Amino acid sequence: MPPLAPERLKGFYVQMTRIRRAEEAIVARYPEQEIRCPTHLSIGQEAVAVGVCQALSEQDVVLSGHRCHAHYLAKGGSLRRMFAELYGKATGCCGGKGGSMHLASPETGMLGASAIVAGTVPIAVGAALAAALRGSDDVSVAFFGDAGIEQGVTHESLAFAALRRLPVVFVCENNLYATLTPLSKRQVSADVSPRAVAHGLPGVSVDGNDVLAVYEAAAHAVARARAGDGPTFIEAKTYRWREHVGPNFDVELGYRTQAELDAWMARDPLLRHARILETSGVLTAAERLALDREVEAEVADAVRFAKASPFPEPAALYADVD
């Protein structure tokens, strides 16, 4: 794969920082009780969304699940409209009626998200089938967690996509837990990707905290899909830092240890990419700080916009819900 231009590499950093700062703003604001929807944060998992979406074109589409902030932002969704959605405001990306688990930005290719585990996997396959029938070379992506592979519909989707050689990339973010249950208590294998191989499509496992490794795997899968060679399954191994749902840390619950969390935090995908950029001379520490400040200003603006926006009118209650 040819080396990426410095501006692209910086862009990866900015994208991941936007997701991190946005979710840190949610952490800071949540206790105010103005964001009333449940929020599933992906702090620690940013490299997966960014690595995959950077391998896509604007026309390509993605679908996601309950932990969808990162996918929405990485696919170009508006930060203002995301915060407005979280605050339940009329200016939100779903008019304030969807909340955190239902972000959508069809104009940038984020078709939608659903809280039903793996519920959007067959929709991504449907989008790929539609693209194939249209004769376009658009690709679709299904983002789902490791619990998603335990849903029957995922296996039906993989089998159908392989059979029809559909242009879809299945991205399983294996963060090792389904709510509070570790993968080791649910499955014999620590790797999820061999399941895909059984359905007749290539399955690869990558370090999901390495944005460049994710990008490379995704670029390869997207190129295959566009060439008519069918679907690919990517397992990105990563880790969620915060509790399953909500803004807090949760080690005191006892289902995981502080040592495990510390080990994964030491593999912070943002710092890791920043260090590569700094040692290769692509980004100085001062430039990085300036980029951080720009993103922080953008997030602060989005929060102000959301707070200042009106709630939906009662008359809008039944619009867009059928």
Ligand X SMILES: Cc1ncc(C[n+]2csc(CCOP(=O)(O)OP(=O)(O)O)c2C)c(N)n1
**Interface segment toward ligand X; rule CB under 6 A; list 73-81, 121-129, 161-169, 176-184:** 176-184
Q: Residue 178 interacts with ligand X (CB under 6 A)?
A: yes
Least CB distance to ligand X at residue 117 (A): 4
Contact 63, 157 (CB under 8 A): no
Q: How far is CA 167 from the centre of its chain?
A: 19
Least CB distance to ligand X at residue 141 (A): 16
**Interface segment toward ligand X; rule CB under 6 A; list 89-97, 111-119, 274-282, 308-316:** 111-119
The HSE-up count of residue 93 (CA atoms within 13 Å, CB side) is 28
- Closer Cβ to ligand X, 176 or 306, answer by number: 176
- Closer Cβ to ligand X, 66 or 75, answer by number: 66
- Closer Cβ to ligand X, 96 or 208, answer by number: 208
Residue number, nearest CB to ligand X: 145
Who's near 150: CB < 8 A, 6+ residues apart? 178, 186, 187
**Interface segment toward ligand X; rule CB under 6 A; list 70-78, 80-88, 175-183, 217-225:** 175-183
Site string for ligand X, 9-48 (x = CB under 6 A): ----------------------------------------
User: How far apart are the C-alpha atoms of 103 and 108, rounded to whole Å?
Assistant: 12
Least CB distance to ligand X at residue 235 (A): 12
Contact 119, 86 (CB under 8 A): no
User: How far apart are the C-alpha atoms of 119 and 142, rounded to whole Å?
Assistant: 10
Site string for ligand X, 136-155 (x = CB under 6 A): --------xxxxx-------
Contact 46, 239 (CB under 8 A): no
Least CB distance to ligand X at residue 322 (A): 22
User: How far apart are the C-alpha atoms of 26 and 20, rounded to whole Å?
Assistant: 10
Site for ligand X in 205-224 (CB under 6 A): none
Question: How many Cβ atoms sit within 10 Å of the Cβ of residue 301?
Answer: 13
Least CB distance to ligand X at residue 145 (A): 2
Q: Residue 179 interacts with ligand X (CB under 6 A)?
A: yes
Of 116, 163, 271, 308, the one binding ligand X (CB under 6 A) is: 116
Query: Measuring CA to CA, which residue among 180, 160, 181, 179 is closest to residue 170?
Result: 160
Site for ligand X in 51-110 (CB under 6 A): 66-67
Least CB distance to ligand X at residue 227 (A): 30
The structure tokens listed for 31 are 């206790």
- Closer Cβ to ligand X, 115 or 316, answer by number: 115
User: What order of strands is seen across the sheet that includes strand 61-64?
Assistant: 110-113, 61-64, 140-145, 168-174, 232-237, 203-207
Least CB distance to ligand X at residue 311 (A): 27
Contact 157, 128 (CB under 8 A): no
User: How far apart are the C-alpha atoms of 178 and 181, rounded to whole Å?
Assistant: 5
**DSSP-assigned letter for residue 85:** H
Who's near 184: CB < 8 A, 6+ residues apart? 190
Q: Residue 115 interacts with ligand X (CB under 6 A)?
A: yes
User: How far apart are the C-alpha atoms of 274 and 210, rounded to whole Å?
Assistant: 11
Least CB distance to ligand X at residue 292 (A): 26
Least CB distance to ligand X at residue 305 (A): 27
Of 64, 157, 175, 209, the one binding ligand X (CB under 6 A) is: 175
Binding site for ligand X (CB under 6 A): 66-67, 115-117, 144-148, 175, 177-179, 244
